Structures are given as structure tokens and as C-alpha cells.
A and B are shown apart, each in its own frame.
Chain A
Amino acid sequence: AQSVSQHNHHVILSEAASLELGCNYSYGGTVNLFWYVQYPGQHLQLLLKYFSGDPLVKGIKGFEAEFIKSKFSFNLRKPSVQWSDTAEYFCAVRPYSSASKIIFGSGTRLSIRP
């Protein structure tokens, strides 16, 4: 079955630390990839997306993600986190064969110590 794995359930970092959140998916075909963020009390927002082209994707607020097809991975990175990055982060995959269905991971809660 198609699935998305986010290995870290809760990550705690200090401000200015570097961030990398892991995401792996199980699907052998072409995919679209997304990272969404949910700040406390707010709705899901799109951070960045990959459809095709350069596998290194830049998003909002200094986030970037790299698609490594051979590893079925789409890890999220930020060189220096801020307290305002405290949120829940969701990786999501849409198999190319399913134009409608997006499969989400279970999320990673990021807590930043000021």
C-alpha cells in the first residue's frame, strides 16, 4: 500500500540550530511531493512542493527540500530555525496515477527553544 513515513515524531531544537526532517514514501511511480506546515491554532499551509525539474526545491520562510528518487525521500531542511518555526510539519505525496488523492505522513512536531 502507498504510504508516507515521517521518522521523527517530535523534534526539539534551540534557535539558530539547523533542521532536517525526514520523509520517505512507498510508491514506485512518478510522484508529486509536498511539505505542509500547521502552526498552533492555524490551518495547514503549503511550505513547498515538487512536481518536476530541479530536485532541490525552495519554499517559504527559508525552507528547502531535496527529492532523492533513488531513496524515495523528500527531506525538509532549514539552516537556522527560529522560535516562530514551532509547528507541526507534514510530508505528503501524490502518486501521478492518482490526480486527486494526496497521502500524508503522520507529522513531525517541531518545538524551538527560545
Chain B
Amino acid sequence: ETGVTQSPTHLIKTRGQQVTLRCSSQSGHNTVSWYQQALGQGPQFIFQYYREEENGRGNFPPRFSGLQFPNYSSELNVNALELDDSALYLCASSRRMEGLAGDTQYFGPGTRLTVL
């Protein structure tokens, strides 16, 4: 167990709807990254939040947006859901330290989103 929690575990939505997924980071971590893992694929980076601001984004459209709160927890919002958005959404937390290039990300169990 990493201490990263995500809610809900499973979610079913219909095309065109909006969804919010939540992530609580591991104690002592200040950075949250979100990934999309389609069936049979590796995780794909959506974006990262650090100090409540987006800090790097993958190749995802603007209808994927996020927030980070002062307690370092985070939300992923997806608008205008499409069938291809069906996937496992993973949250990873890490501790970014100033002056260091990178950190190790620890993953939560994921939220399984099904779009009908």
C-alpha cells in the first residue's frame, strides 16, 4: 500500500456527461500526477499538479482539467465524455524538492471509468 487513495472505485457515465475523480496524496507528498490507462496499455500521462498549479501536461484535450488543493489532494475533471474515455484513471503522488530534477511517483489503486 502506498497511502495514495482514489475515489470512487468504479464509475459509469454516458457520453456527453461530466465526471470528477478524486485523489488524496500520500502523507508528506506535495505533487500529484494523473494518468489514463486504457485496457491492455501502459499508463499515459495526463498532467501534474504542484503548488496548486498545472506543471506539465500530456497530449490530452482541454476538456481534461484538474485542481490541486492546499492539502495537496487533487481532482481530475473530464467534460463532454466520449466512449474512448473509458479507462482506468490513476493518480500518483510524489515529493518534489526544490532544485532536484525529479522524484519517485507512487500510484493509487485507480478509478475505473466506463462511458456508455
Asked if B44 contacts A94 (CB within 8 A), the reply is no
Stretch of A13-21, A57-65, A102-110 contacting B (4+ beta carbons < 8 Å): A102-110
Contact with B along A19-37 (1 / 0, CB 8 A): 0000000000000101010
A68 interface hit (Cβ, 8 Å): no
> A104 contacts B109, CB within 8 Å?
no
- A90 and B56 contacting across the interface, CB-CB below 8 Å: no
Check if B12 is an interface residue, CB within 8 A of chain A.
no
> Is B30 on the interface with A (CB-CB < 8 A)?
no
List residues of chain B with CB within 8 A of the CB of A49. 104
A101 close to B102 (CB less than 8 A): no
Tally of A interface residues using CB under 8 Å: 25
Once bound together, how far apart are the Cα atoms of A99 and B101, in whole Å? 6
Whether a CB of chain B sits under 8 angstroms from the CB of A44 is yes
Closest to A91 in B: B42
Decide: A43 near B109, CB < 8 A? Known: A32-B102, A96-B101: yes
Query: Which residues of A lie under 8 Å from residue B43 when comparing CB positions?
Result: 44, 90, 104
Point out residues on B near A: beta carbons under 8 Å. 2, 31, 33, 35, 40-45, 47-48, 50, 55-56, 58, 90, 92, 96, 101-110
Chain A positions near chain B (C-beta within 8 angstroms): 4, 32, 34, 36, 42-46, 49, 51, 90, 92, 94, 96, 98-107
The 8 A-B residue pairs with the shortest CB-CB distance in the complex, in nearest-first order: A100-B56, A104-B42, A100-B48, A44-B107, A43-B109, A101-B45, A104-B43, A106-B42
